[in-house]
């Protein structure tokens, strides 16, 4: 397709009744916005300030409505298109799809969502810290309904279409466009095996507790604001809480949570398991770079760099990872070590 | 699709006082409800949320089960207000139980600290009901004060089938003397290791606060217990109960799904596990 044809296709989706979300640049900030008319639409290479995450896992949502002891599942979602997710963020989608595979609300929303990815990877290295490159062969390890590959020519850009699901094929067929190739999802892990960076950082975090880094450096710097957890496309921790209605009954709600907030690890009797800032930030890194790799064999960080951009005290994930990779000043530690004290 | 957060309602059949701050609730078991000692349920009181509770009854009882709740927060306060005949919501049972099969052929050491006696009670009752199936069993139970003792009406029965050692940290008696009827001593639970002759080559099931684990595991290691023969139940904020919300993460494990019972072998290298 040409740019003009692409706009026509987006207009078709809008007319079909989808809410179409796409990255839009406004006041110098790129963010997902609802597009009502695609006539001036342009593909944006910059990473959106927020990822697509909130469109699939809202900050807060109602799971059930309750009355007395009866819970009624609330599950009514609108048809939506999330347009223009770049390959870095699509890796986060793969991860969330695993995490929420049995979740009726996430799945309910996904059933109504058309995911349209695109190949423009952010130019700024801080938005692609692992230097992930777009090549056609990465597509079989990503999940999408439609994927649009932009090929920039001398005078104009051409768009090539791939599908990753029947849903994607059906839409394109209906639109009357059949110049697409279908890609079968081959799992998140590439043929050559697990991600080498992932293994490197996992081993470092698991086997080398860097006391200086966690307790002196990051533990002192971090102010536990939790902004990184908000913008991170893979941060998904949540709370479930009841919100009584004013008259009777109420709602059981789910809200995104943050491991930096003080009640995150709290149990009965006000006891907490994450107390110091150092423990919290270590927990955050451990979840992404050890726990998720151990559980799913894929990295828990896609390298989008949003956490560094938003951090008010300048903690830069790329620098932290470089430090993890530097094995000179390491302190071996384990629970057993504590027994010797 | 199946909704893992859906609750089943369960009628309160009986409420008894346990210790000074806890109540024991006998609940009607939903159809096909089966559990093993060490597992838990999420109790749901719409309006007040959900919280995990160890199931503390005899696993062979099919029609009902018990949970013991100490009044510590909003949900437990509400639970304490409830009356026989009313219903609560439950989800579960969840989690990995204590590996009771393992002790059919091995001696067993049970160590409980405080409320930690709750998930061990199904093990105790299972053994007493099928005493011949099991080998030698010792139970070391330490509580803070007399008023913290749970299931005290059953101690004579427990003593009839297993070696039961009890200790109180601060035995508050008006005279300052030890209440004789408990047949207990003064001190923390590790002090019982000097009194009981612990069977070597036993398997140990532990449940108590983190500080107890530190000292008990040290004792067990002195007695040459292997890491894989020590099982402990971790307490964490098990919020969703199905291994997703991540509040109960310990290392790469979800306590609600991979635990709450872990072998020491599995978690000994995880920072902050105990």
How many Å lie between the alpha carbon of A286 and the closest alpha carbon of chain B? 7
Residues A33, A142 within the same domain: yes
Residues A270, A170 within the same domain: no
Report in angstroms the alpha-carbon separations of A31 from A4, A23, A25, B60.
22, 5, 7, 57
Does pLDDT of A336 surpass 50?
no
Cα–Cα distance between A86 and A80 in angstroms, integer?
A: 17
Residue B274 contacts residue A335 (beta carbons within 8 Å): yes
What is the pLDDT, as a whole number, of residue B255? 97
Q: Where in chain B is the domain with CATH 2.40.30.10?
A: 8-94
Residues of A in contact with B3 (CB under 8 A): 73, 104
Q: Which of A239, A269, A338 sits opposite B72 (nearest CB)?
A: A269
CB interface of B with A, residues 192-231, below 8 Å:
214, 217-218, 221
What is the pLDDT, as a whole number, of residue A335? 41
Residue A193 contacts residue A297 (beta carbons within 8 Å): no
Mean pLDDT of all residues in A78-91 = 96
Residues A27, A159 within the same domain: yes
Cα–Cα distance between A49 and A305 in angstroms, integer?
A: 10
What is the pLDDT, as a whole number, of residue B146? 87
The answer to whether B257 contacts chain A (CB < 8 Å) is: no
For the record, the structure tokens of B109 come out as 């050491």
Average pLDDT, chain B: 94
Residues A159, A215 within the same domain: no
Evaluate whether residue A273 is within a structural domain.
yes
How many Å separate Cα A156 from the centre of its chain? 31
pLDDT tens-digit series, residues B170-219: 876 656 666 677 788 888 899 999 888 999 889 999 999 999 999 999 99
Does pLDDT of B66 surpass 70?
yes
Evaluate whether residue A254 is within a structural domain.
no
Cα–Cα distance between B245 and A214 in angstroms, integer?
A: 24
The answer to whether B149 contacts chain A (CB < 8 Å) is: no
Does pLDDT of A217 surpass 80?
yes
What is the CATH code for B100-233? 3.40.50.80
Please tell me the least confidently modeled range out of A25-29, A184-188, B173-177, B263-267: B173-177
How many Å lie between the alpha carbon of B1 and the closest alpha carbon of chain A? 6
Total number of domains in chain A? 2
pLDDT tens-digit series, residues A135-173: 888 999 999 999 999 998 888 899 999 999 999 999 999
Residues A30, A174 within the same domain: yes
How many Å lie between the alpha carbon of B224 and the closest alpha carbon of chain A? 15
What is the pLDDT, as a whole number, of residue B75? 94
Q: Which of B49, B70, B269 sits opposite A241 (nearest CB)?
A: B49
CB pairs under 8 A between A and B: 114
- Closest-CA residue to B93 (of B273, B265, B238): B238
Evaluate whether residue A146 is within a structural domain.
yes
Angle at A154 between CA A153 and CA A160, to 5 degrees: 10
The answer to whether A99 contacts chain B (CB < 8 Å) is: yes
Highest mean pLDDT pick, A148-157, A195-204, A321-330, B260-269: B260-269
Residues A207, A158 within the same domain: no
Q: Which of A238, A242, A335 sits opposite B273 (nearest CB)?
A: A335
- Closest-CA residue to B114 (of A269, A273, A265): A269
Contact A336 B269 (CB under 8 A): yes
Q: Which of B89, B249, B272 sits opposite A291 (nearest CB)?
A: B249
pLDDT tens-digit series, residues A304-322: 999 999 999 999 999 999 9
pTM of the predicted protein model: 0.93
Evaluate whether residue A112 is within a structural domain.
yes
Cα–Cα distance between A209 and B92 in angstroms, integer?
A: 36
Evaluate whether residue A206 is within a structural domain.
yes
Identify the residue with better confidence: B58 or A326: B58
Helix (H) or strand (E) holding B69: strand B64-70
pLDDT tens-digit series, residues A116-128: 999 999 988 888 8
Q: For domain B8-94, which architecture applies?
A: Beta Barrel (2.40)
Average pLDDT, chain A: 92
Q: Where in chain B is the domain with CATH 3.40.50.80?
A: 100-233
Angle at A143 between CA A137 and CA A145, to 5 degrees: 105
Contact B73 A268 (CB under 8 A): yes
- In B171-228, alpha helices (H): 192-195, 210-222
Residues A127, A228 within the same domain: no
What is the pLDDT, as a whole number, of residue B175? 61
Cα–Cα distance between A299 and A280 in angstroms, integer?
A: 19
Identify the residue with better confidence: A22 or A335: A22
For the record, the structure tokens of B35 come out as 């559990």
Cα separation of the two ends of chain B: 37
Tell me if the bond preceding B93 is cis, omega within 30° of 0: yes
Evaluate whether residue A55 is within a structural domain.
yes
Provide the CB-side half-sphere exposure for A3 (13 A, CA). Answer: 12
Write b or e for each residue in A49-63: b if 16 or more Cβ atoms lie within 10 A of its Cβ, otherwise e: ebbbbebbbeeebbb
For the record, the structure tokens of A243 come out as 């919100």
What is the pLDDT, as a whole number, of residue B160? 95
What is the pLDDT, as a whole number, of residue B242? 97
For the record, the structure tokens of A60 come out as 């807060």
Q: Which domain holds residue A88?
A: 3-59+75-182
What is the pLDDT, as a whole number, of residue B200? 86
What is the pLDDT, as a whole number, of residue A167? 97
Mean pLDDT of all residues in A12-33 = 95
- In B131-196, alpha helices (H): 155-161, 192-195
CB atoms within 10 A of CB A17: 8
Query: At B88, is the pLDDT very low, low, confident or very high (cuts 50, 70, 90)?
Result: very high
The answer to whether A131 contacts chain B (CB < 8 Å) is: no
Residues A268, A126 within the same domain: no
Q: What is the ipTM of this complex?
A: 0.92
CB interface of A with B, residues 71-90, below 8 Å:
71, 73
Mean pLDDT of all residues in B43-62 = 95
pLDDT tens-digit series, residues A244-267: 998 889 999 999 999 999 999 999
How many Å lie between the alpha carbon of B247 and the closest alpha carbon of chain A? 6
């Amino acid at each position: 397709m040409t740019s003009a044809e692409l706009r026509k296709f987006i207009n078709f989706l809008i007319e079909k009744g989808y809410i179409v979300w796409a990255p839009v640049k406004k006041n110098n900030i790129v963010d997902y916005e609802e597009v009502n008319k695609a006539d001036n639409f342009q593909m944006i290479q910059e990473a959106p300030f927020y990822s697509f995450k909130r469109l699939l896992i809202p900050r807060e949502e109602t799971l059930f409505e309750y009355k007395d002891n009866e819970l009624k599942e609330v599950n009514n979602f609108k048809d939506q298109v999330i347009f223009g997710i770049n390959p870095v963020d699509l890796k986060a989608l793969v991860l969330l799809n695993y995490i929420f595979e049995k979740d009726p609300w996430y799945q309910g929303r996904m059933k109504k969502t058309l995911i349209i990815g695109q190949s423009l990877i952010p130019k700024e290295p801080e938005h692609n810290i692992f230097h992930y490159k777009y090549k056609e062969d990465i597509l079989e390890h990503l999940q999408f309904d439609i994927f649009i590959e932009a090929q920039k020519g001398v005078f104009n850009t051409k768009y090539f279409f791939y599908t990753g699901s029947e849903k994607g094929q059906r839409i394109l067929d209906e639109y009357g466009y059949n110049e697409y190739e279908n890609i079968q999802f081959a799992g998140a892990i590439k043929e050559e095996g697990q991600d080498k960076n992932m293994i490197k950082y996992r081993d470092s975090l698991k086997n080398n507790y860097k006391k200086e880094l966690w307790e002196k450096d990051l533990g002192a710097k971090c102010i536990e604001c939790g902004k990184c957890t908000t913008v991170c496309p893979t941060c998904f921790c949540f709370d479930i809480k009841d919100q009584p209605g004013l008259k009777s009954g109420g709602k059981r709600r789910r809200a995104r949570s943050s491991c930096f907030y003080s009640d995150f690890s709290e149990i009965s009797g006000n006891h907490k398991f994450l107390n110091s800032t150092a423990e919290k930030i270590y927990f955050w890194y451990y979840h992404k770079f050890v726990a998720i790799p151990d559980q799913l064999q894929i990295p828990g960080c896609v390298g989008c760099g949003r956490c560094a951009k938003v951090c008010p005290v300048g903690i830069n994930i790329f620098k932290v990872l470089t430090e993890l990779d530097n094995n000179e000043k390491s302190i071996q530690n384990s629970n057993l070590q504590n027994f010797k004290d | 699709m199946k909704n893992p957060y859906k609750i089943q309602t369960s009628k309160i059949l009986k409420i008894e006082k346990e210790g000074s701050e806890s109540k024991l609730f006998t609940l009607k078991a939903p159809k096909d409800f089966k559990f093993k000692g060490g597992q838990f349920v999420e109790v749901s009181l719409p309006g007040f949320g959900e919280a995990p509770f160890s199931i503390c009854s005899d696993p062979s009882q099919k029609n009902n089960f018990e949970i013991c709740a100490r009044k510590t927060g909003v949900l437990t306060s509400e639970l304490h207000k409830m009356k026989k005949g009313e219903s609560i919501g439950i989800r579960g049972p969840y989690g990995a139980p204590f590996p009771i099969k393992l002790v059919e052929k091995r001696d067993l050491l049970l160590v409980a600290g405080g409320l930690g006696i709750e998930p061990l009670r199904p093990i105790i009752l299972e053994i007493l009901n099928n005493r011949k199936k099991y080998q030698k069993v010792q139970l070391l139970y330490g509580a803070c004060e007399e008023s913290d003792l749970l299931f005290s009406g059953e101690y004579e029965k427990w003593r009839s089938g297993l070696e039961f050692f009890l200790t109180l940290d601060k035995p508050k008696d008006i005279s300052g003397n030890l209440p004789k009827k408990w047949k207990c001593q003064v001190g923390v639970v590790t002090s019982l290791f000097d009194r009981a002759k612990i069977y070597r080559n036993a398997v140990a099931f532990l449940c108590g606060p983190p500080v107890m684990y530190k000292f008990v595991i040290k004792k067990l290691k002195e007695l040459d217990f292997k890491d894989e023969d020590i099982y402990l139940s971790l307490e964490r904020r098990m919020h969703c109960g199905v291994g997703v919300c991540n509040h109960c993460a310990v290392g790469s494990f979800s306590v609600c799904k991979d635990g709450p019972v872990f072998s020491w072998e599995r978690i000994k290298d995880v920072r902050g596990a105990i």
